[in-house]
Amino acid sequence: MRGLVFRAFDRGGMIFLGILFGLILLLALSNLIMPVGHPLHAPTYLVSLIGKYLTYALLALSVDLIWGFCGILSLGHGAFFALGGYAMGMYLMRQIGDRGVYGNPELPDFMVFLNYSELPWYWHGFDMFWFAAIMIVFVPGLLAFIFGWFAFRSRVTGVYLSIITQAMTYALMLAFFRNNMGFGGNNGLTDFKDLLGFDLQNDGTRVGLLFASAMALGLGFLICKAVTRSKYGKVITAIRDAESRTRFLGYRVDRYKLAVFTLSACMAGVAGALYVPQVGIINPSEFTPANSIEVVIWVAVGGRGTLYGAVIGAILVNYAKTYLTGALPEIWLFALGGLFVFVTLFLPRGIVGAVNGSGDGGPSPIMTKVRDWRAARAMEGRS
């Protein structure tokens, strides 16, 4: 156990977390201490925006853990994120109490509107934060466990696995769109008032959520470090590179995959739970297959298999998204697609890989590509 804990703390990881927390602290201080209108004042919307990016970063981290290290390309991780988000949303709905439009102390507004006479059984317990907190981890984890148990035992790998993860999130999306699922149909859950008694509109609560997101990201990062730097991490990397060889060494590949897949889904659930109070709504569109694919692009852009690359990728791509959907909304999807093509062709190891070089001290891949391309052009010119 001691070894596992120690391995979480390596120098590079500490520097990365130090920078991350330093920036978050600066942002928080400039929001809370600087007066409104001061050039150094950070508006509250920015605090929540960064908080949202951090939850995306945690989601990207969870995808990097399985894709970058174990080769499991999940195109449905948004589902685990959304389930965690719904669990949090259910708690927040119950917190509204009789302050809803219909003033029903027991039933959330949408249930009154849909003529529910009593709370569905699966809504019980969500008035207690501790119960909701357990469900945030347990529900995505359980789904991942069941899904993974069948998929990995049947040795479904590669693109086939990716396709069924897409089907999973799509099926959940359709299910959550139905009014009689009891999750608010296509409107989802919204109009939240407070969390643990703190008013969600309050600047202090916003900063608190920002910190909670940063803490969750930091903890997730340390867990990923500990896991990937252990012998377990070497085994999953071996599975990624040569699955059947690993099996011939006596490792139960399905169990190793199942463990990392479940852990990753739990992390995605926590990310979703922190996302919901900061954006103020959770609805079935979070299950959209395209969302999950976007997460994979964040990781690819940042650099898979590096952990901090996933965080950087998630923040940069989402910053670009926020900027472009505001400035040039019709461009965004083309930009995202173009970015993915560019990264796949020229930065196979992402931004992090391009900056760090090829690891064995050689030139960075982007320069190698440029050189190859020039050489190819020169050859064509001659013939």
Partner 1 sequence: MSTAFNTSMADSILYLDGVNVSFDGFRALNDLSLVLDAGEMRAIIGPNGAGKTTMMDIITGKTRPDSGQVVFEGNVDLTRHDEAAIAELGIGRKFQKPTVFETQTVHDNLELALKADRSVRSSLLWMLSNEASRRIDEILAITRLGDHANEIAGSLSHGQKQWLEIGMLLAQDPKLLLVDEPAAGMTDDETAETARLLKEIAESHSVVVVEHDMTFVRDLGVKVTVLHEGSVLAEGSLDAVSADKRVIEVYLGR
Q: Nearest CA to 294 among 130, 81, 38?
A: 81
Q: Which of residues 254-283 bind partner 1 (CB under 8 A)?
A: 255-256, 259
Task: Tell me whether residue 23 or residue 249 sits nearer to partner 1 (CB atom).
Answer: 249
Task: Tell me whether residue 6 or residue 319 sits nearer to partner 1 (CB atom).
Answer: 6
247 binds partner 1 (CB under 8 A): yes
CA distances from 35 to 19, 41, 57, 316 (A): 25, 6, 30, 28
Return d(Cα 92, Cα 190) in angstroms, integer: 8
Task: Tell me whether residue 38 or residue 252 sits nearer to partner 1 (CB atom).
Answer: 252
> Nearest distance from residue 253's CB to partner 1, in Å?
7
370 binds partner 1 (CB under 8 A): no
**8 A C-beta contact, residue 65 and residue 224:** yes
- Selected from 40, 249, 367, 376, the binder of partner 1 by CB under 8 A is 249
> Nearest distance from residue 202's CB to partner 1, in Å?
41
> Nearest distance from residue 201's CB to partner 1, in Å?
43
Return d(Cα 312, Cα 295) in angstroms, integer: 12
Cβ neighbours for 211, distance < 8 A, ≥ 6 positions apart:
24, 28
Task: Tell me whether residue 259 or residue 324 sits nearer to partner 1 (CB atom).
Answer: 259
> Nearest distance from residue 13's CB to partner 1, in Å?
18
Q: Which of residues 199-238 bind partner 1 (CB under 8 A)?
A: 227, 230-232, 234-235, 237-238
Place of tokens 């009789």: 98
Left, alpha or beta for 116 (phi > 0: left; psi -120 to 50: alpha)? beta
360 binds partner 1 (CB under 8 A): yes
- Selected from 45, 244, 378, 382, the binder of partner 1 by CB under 8 A is 244
Q: Facing residues of 198 across strands?
A: 195
Q: Nearest CA to 57 among 236, 215, 277?
A: 215
Return d(Cα 185, Cα 204) in angstroms, integer: 32
Q: Which of residues 330-359 bind partner 1 (CB under 8 A)?
A: none
> Nearest distance from residue 50's CB to partner 1, in Å?
33
Residues engaged in binding partner 1 (CB under 8 A) = 1, 3-4, 227, 230-232, 234-235, 237-238, 241-242, 244-253, 255-256, 259, 360
